[in-house]
Amino acid sequence: MDNILKIGKYELGSRLIVGSGKYKDFQTTKEATLASGSELITVAVRRLNITNPDQENLRDTFAGTNVKFLPNSAGCVTAEEAITTFRLTREATGIDLIKLEVIGDTQKTLYPDVIETIKACEILSKEGFTIMAYTSDDPIMAKRLEDAGAHAIMPLAAPIGSGLGIQNPYNIVFIREAVSVPVIVDAGIGCASDAAYAMELGAAGVLTNTAIAQAQNPMFMAEAMKHAVIAGRMSYLSGRIPKRPYATASSPIDGMIQF
């Protein structure tokens, strides 16, 4: 099985991406991330702490591991804010693999403003960033983001942190069919079976944060997510049997004893 996830010029040995928020401390973040097997953790730029070396820093916590950072533009509500955020981040850290998110509704749904996201994507792609774009589950917008230079499309499964799981599986499939870049299901994952389902739909990967960070046992859930993503990928590649309305006998009837 090909476990390599290719995003632009980057290659990852795990198809699970994790978040860094909502943990009780940085040490728990590290332990859960390592248990998940993920090689990429998304982090709000402010948590990278690129301005004050005297404060606790996630980069120090993960020093010596194979985990890469994926800065995100959480909190940005315009294309201009996101563009400035990533320019400063790259200048300070050298990181050019980014998760672009521009939020349209900051109060209730945290749904993305896809129009502003496309604007930012067009500019950042021209500046050499490798862009993973958080978006709605609209296949038309997904294609426009790819055309704008996105290297991966990240449709939400449900509102961020809701744990509702995949609410519109057909749109995930439609997006996968509409674009040629990897589709990473993002936001709304609640448990390991949600992650497996996303992979069975043909997603190239899954990003989850709250489901692990706020589980009663984050380490167990992180490991469950690891296996779920692998199992879902294997199931998708195996090719499921068609659904039928009636039973089909598993054993042949030829040669049965006649009474």
Report the distance separating Cα 251 and Cα 32, nearest Å. 45
Known binding residues for 1-deoxy-D-xylulose 5-phosphate: 161, 187-188, 209-210
- The H or E element that residue 130 is part of is strand 130-135
Per the residue annotation, which of 30, 99, 119, 226 is the catalytic one? 99
The DSSP output letter for 38 is: -
Q: Give DSSP secondary structure letters for 133-148.
A: EEE-S-HHHHHHHHHT
Q: Which residue has the tokens 């038309």?
A: 140
Residue 68 annotated among the catalytic residues of the structure: no
Report the distance separating Cα 57 and Cα 233, nearest Å. 34
Known binding residues: 161, 187-188, 209-210
- Residue 136 tokens, joined: 């709605």
101 touches 117 (CB < 8 A): yes
Which residues belong to the active site? 99
